[in-house]
Every structure is written in structure tokens, then in C-alpha cells.
Amino acid sequence: MEKLAFERPIIQRINAGLPSKHGISRKLEPISHIDEVPIKSLMDEYGSPLFILSESTIRKTYKEAYRAFSSRYPNVQFAWSYKTNYLNAVCNVFHQEGSWAEVVSGFEYDKAIANGVPGELIIFNGPDKSREDLKKAINNGSLIHIDHFDELYDIIHISKEIKERPKVAIRVNMDVGVYPKWDRFGFNFENGEAWDALNRIMGSKNLDLIGLHTHIGTYMMTTEAYRVAASKLAHLAVSLERKHGHVIQYIDLGGGFASKNTLRGAYYPGTDTAPSFDDFAEAITTALMNSEIKPSHLPMLILETGRALIDEAGYLAGTVLANKRLSDGRRATIIDAGVNLLFTAFWYEHEIRPIEPISEQTEDTIIYGPLCMNIDVVRSNITFPLLKKGDHYVIRRVGAYNNTQWLQFINMRPNIVMLDVDGKTHLIRKAETLETINNQEVTPEHLRSFNL
């Protein structure tokens, strides 16, 4: 007689709480393939854990975002936010699609140049630009978004020194009706600081003021805030023309659009609550079109969307290391990717699915990463199927920030592969080794040996 399939024996407490009237399926369907490539075969070849990026998804998402804005506004330009994911392969997909580069440090600036982005198509944001960075950016004709007065005076000095006219915009912070107010970057709109900066730029005669920029926050769930922001920048543009007779060439609304990830503690999943690109586009373009800006002077609309363009394209696949029972009886599952690789687990309830077909049985589970650190929690409470040691999982929507904020902590960082539009696999970042780390270290002569 053929034996039956074995399933772990379990007993679960039945909690008779108030049922939600909004039914959400509790069964986690396995995800076995990405772009028709078996995830298991990728791990067999490139190891576990493994980051997997889908080029098709990046291109599809970009096209969707571009269509949403360009079908509503005559002059739209995206600039790829390097800090969101500055893997060269990822940046170049966006550049091939037509995105400029948006960088926030000298390192990112050099990366964009090395990728082949023309200097005049690089937007240089952020509070940290050294004099050398600024000189380079001015010489290359890059678009410098000024963050504070110290930077403004640096630029004025450098422009006199090297006799070049820097192309600048100011970053404006403002009250758009959301909390927390992002007022640490740029010049404030409400207290007149932004006007003060604009007047000084116009008075300096050495600088070409070509744009106005704002970035109102991150993971914004409301489109209304963007309507307010666009209206306030449009008001500044109109006032500039009225007062100084100066017409700006672009308005940059920054980024911050929510992706479809679910924030920790959120009642509904992000897939149900995040506004679409059309929603954001409608709010922003309507505000600009309805403003007092003359139709013949409508500025280019620049968007620096990062998260919403790349999150969906990234996956993190790996292996279950162990199961254990906590003191309160809860199940804990330990997986081979922790917060060192999945930095966003600090604020998202990441969707995690099995790769192989599993039973219908689920159990309330806490999912830990492999680090010997108490903070290493990937999901603090999830109704999860009964995965055994050696089973595989995949975490969805990890494309934003994880490959830039990840930590080389306790373990090395693993391989990253990209699946191209034909389903071909490309290794785009090699796993680190002990050598990678030790190459950066210098051990003094007297500390090179010891006797135990």
C-alpha cells in the first residue's frame, strides 16, 4: 500500500473574536516562478538567499507611471532616484526608458556619470554636497537643487571662482496637511524663507534659476498633499515671473508615492490602499493646469518617484533554517534572510509566500531572520503555512531601498540576479566573500599573530 503524504501534527487555539466583514483570504498561494523562471532553479544556481529583479516589471511599471502623467500634461520627465536602488543594471533600465538621474551624494553623482548619464541630465539633491562635488556639477551643467543657505553661498563663490553659471533650483518645504511635516530639507514656503532664497539667487546675477523643487515626504497615501504642493510651487513660479520677470523651466514634485507594500500596523493591505499613478497624476497635473501659470509658460514637470517604480520588481527568495516553539507556545520560523538584507522589514509587513506547494494548514507564526540579534524580526505575526527546515520562501516587493540600505552585518550580502525580458538570468551583483570584507581592512604588523 502506498503511504500517505505526511504533514506536521498541529493543534491551534480557536480565538472567537469579532469576524471582519471584509474578507481577506488567509491561504497563501505559493509563488513558484518569477517571469516564468522557476525560483528554485535560480537558488540552485545562485545560492540562498537570493535577490531577484524582474526587468519586465520595472519597464512595465515605468511605462504605466509615464503614461499616467504624460496623458495629462504636455511635458513630463522622470529622474531615477539613485538612492532607492543604485544597482547599475537597475539604473540603466530606467535610463533606457528615458529617465534622467536624481542623486543625493557625490558617490551617487559619480555613479550616474559612470553609467553614462550626461551631466546636464543629472539632478543633484540633498544636504551633503562638498565644494568638489559642486564644482564638478557646475562644470558638467548639472541641475543643482539647493538645500540651505550655506550651500547657496558656496555655489555663488564657486561660480565666481570658475567663471561658470551654475544651473540651480531651490528645494522648498511646505505644509501640505500631512504629519510629520518634512521641514528639514530646503527652504520653507510659509515663513518666507523660500522667497528669501529666490531673491538672493535673482540678485546674485551669477546663477541661472531654472526650477523649483519639493519633496513632501515618503510613502504618501494621500494625493491631496501633492495637489497642495503643486499649487504652492505654481504660486511661487507665477510670483517669480511677476516680480522678477523670470520664467522657470521646470517644477520638480519629487517622489514619495506609496508602493503596494503594507505598512506595519495597517488594517488593510497596501494593495488595496495605495493610490494609483493615475490618482497621483490627476492631483498634480490638475493643480498645475488650473494654476495661474500662463499656458505658454507651462514648465516641464519632473518626477523623482523611486519606491513606487521599483518595489514591485524585487523579490527575495530563500530557505527555512529551523522551526521552534516560543515560551508562549507560538511558532517561530527562522529563515536565512533577516533585517540585514531586508531593511524595509522595520516598517513593512512584507508579503512572504512559500515556493513549493504546501498544505492548507496554517499557524500563527513569528518569522525571524538568521541574525543572532533580538531585532531580527521579518514578520512579527503572520498566519503562515507549516514550512519545514529546507523549504523555500519568497518575499515580494523588496525592490526599493533594500539593495542600498542593506547591511554587511554578521553575514555577507548575497547574489542579485535580474531576469531580462526574455526570461534570461543575469548576475548583476556578486555575493560578497570574506575576501571582499578583508580587502578593506589593514591589520597592523604587531597584531598579525597570536598564541593561544
Taking the complex as a whole, the smallest distance from the CB of residue 360 to other proteins amounts, in Å, to 9
Q: Of 21, 163, 325, 448, which lies in the binding site for other proteins, with binding defined by CB under 8 A?
A: 325
Write down the H helix ranges in 163-292.
193-204, 224-244, 270-273, 277-289
Give, for 256, the enclosing helix (H) or strand (E). none
Neighbours of 370 (CB within 10 A): 20
> Which residue, 264 or 388, is less far from other proteins as judged by CB?
388
- Interface with other proteins in residues 375-414 (CB under 8 A): 388
- The C-alpha angle 215, 217, 223, rounded to 5 degrees, equals 90
- What string marks each residue from 276 to 315 as x (binds other proteins by CB under 8 A) or -? ----------------------------------------
Q: DSSP states of 156-178 as a string? A: HHHHHHHT---EEEEEEE---S-
Using CA atoms, how far apart are residues 124 and 101, in angstroms rounded to an integer? 8
Q: Of 218, 323, 405, 411, which lies in the binding site for other proteins, with binding defined by CB under 8 A?
A: 323
Neighbours of 142 (CB within 10 A): 28
Taking the complex as a whole, the smallest distance from the CB of residue 324 to other proteins amounts, in Å, to 8
> Which residue, 258 or 334, is less far from other proteins as judged by CB?
334
Taking the complex as a whole, the smallest distance from the CB of residue 10 to other proteins amounts, in Å, to 5
Instruction: Give Cβ neighbours of residue 201 (< 8 Å, ≥ 6 apart).
Output: 146, 152, 168, 170, 207, 209
Q: Are 382 and 352 spatial neighbours (Cβ–Cβ below 8 Å)?
A: yes
- What string marks each residue from 7 to 46 as x (binds other proteins by CB under 8 A) or -? xxxxxxxx-x------------------------------
Taking the complex as a whole, the smallest distance from the CB of residue 28 to other proteins amounts, in Å, to 16
Taking the complex as a whole, the smallest distance from the CB of residue 374 to other proteins amounts, in Å, to 22
- What string marks each residue from 329 to 348 as x (binds other proteins by CB under 8 A) or -? x-------------------
Q: Which stretch binds other proteins (CB under 8 A): 6-14, 27-35, 92-100, 279-287?
A: 6-14
- Interface with other proteins in residues 44-103 (CB under 8 A): none
Q: Of the candidates 259, 274, 278, which has an alpha carbon nearest to the alpha carbon of residue 397?
A: 259
> Which residue, 2 or 422, is less far from other proteins as judged by CB?
2
Q: DSSP states of 300-342 as a string? A: EEEE---HHHHGGGEEEEEEEEEEEE-TTS-EEEEES--TTT-
State the residues that interact with other proteins by CB under 8 A: 3-14, 16, 323, 325, 328-329, 359, 361, 388
